[in-house]
Structure formats: C-alpha cells, structure tokens
Amino acid sequence: MAPRGQAKGRYAAPRTVLFVLAALGFLISAYLTWTHFAGLAPICTGGGEGCQTVQSSRYATVLGVPVALLGLISYGGLIISAALWGEVGIYLGFLISLVGTLFSAYLTYLEVFVIGALCQWCLASAAITVATLICTALAARQLTQERQSHEPAP
C-alpha cells in the first residue's frame, strides 16, 4: 500500500473536483442560510416564485434548523474531507455525499410532489451533491481496488 503522501498525490484530480464542488455548494448554502436568517426572499431567475415558496414552506427547517444551514455544514464537511483526503478523507467524503444525496432526493421529492414549486438554488445544490457522490465513489473504488491488488494472495 502506498504511503499516505503518495495516496494524496495519486487522487489529486478527484480531490480538486471535490473541493471545487463543495465550495460551490457551500456558497449556495451560505446564500440560502443568509436569506433565511435575514428574512429575505431568495432571488429566483426568470421572475419565478419557486425559491420563495420552497424556502418559506414548513419543510425548509428540520427541528427548527434551516435545511440550508444543514447544507452549509455538509459542504463544510466535504471541504474538510478534501483537505484530509487519503483514505480517511475519501471515505468521509463518500459518507457525507451519500447522506447528502439521499436527503437531497427526499427534498426534491417534496418540492415536486408536496410543495408544488421548484427552487433553482436547491436543485443546483442537489446536482452538486450528486456530483460529489460520484467523485468520492470513484475515488473510493480506486482506493479499494489498489488495496486489493497490494494484498498478498492466500
């Protein structure tokens, strides 16, 4: 198995992609968190009211915590996982991305079938979360394959 420093270098492209995606998601979540606490309506392109409808729905908070703040924390965790990288960072990023993708799927279901409105910011965040899952899953797969190829045969 490669030393820790070599593992980080070998996965530089997925690490960079994860960092960029997490930073974009962090900015989106920061904006939505700010609008929530400032009591402002998020700007929605095309003059639509979907973002305001979603952000003011009863589903915009979980136990009193804004969903946007949960996204901010999640993307912060992904930034940390990109900084750690190596085995721990890859698997941490995969776990955060998996939970985030499942939660985003649930929230998108609510937007379409319960709330009846779509928030462009939320959909962009959901797409970013899925992209982080793909990125970390590919890195985890490569890490697992390399580990298996370095194990002695029975």
The C-alpha R_g of the chain, in whole angstroms, comes to 18
Instruction: Give the percent of the chain with pLDDT over 70.
Output: 89
Question: DSSP string spanning 19-42?
Answer: HHHHHHHHHHHHHHHHHHHHTPPP
- Average pLDDT in the chain: 90
pLDDT above 60: residue 30? yes
Spatial distance between the Cα atoms of 65 and 84, rounded to a whole number of angstroms: 27
3-state secondary structure of 66: strand
Q: What's the pLDDT band for 147 if we cut at 50, 70, 90?
A: confident
Identify which of 102, 127, 122 has the alpha carbon closest to the alpha carbon of residue 112: 122
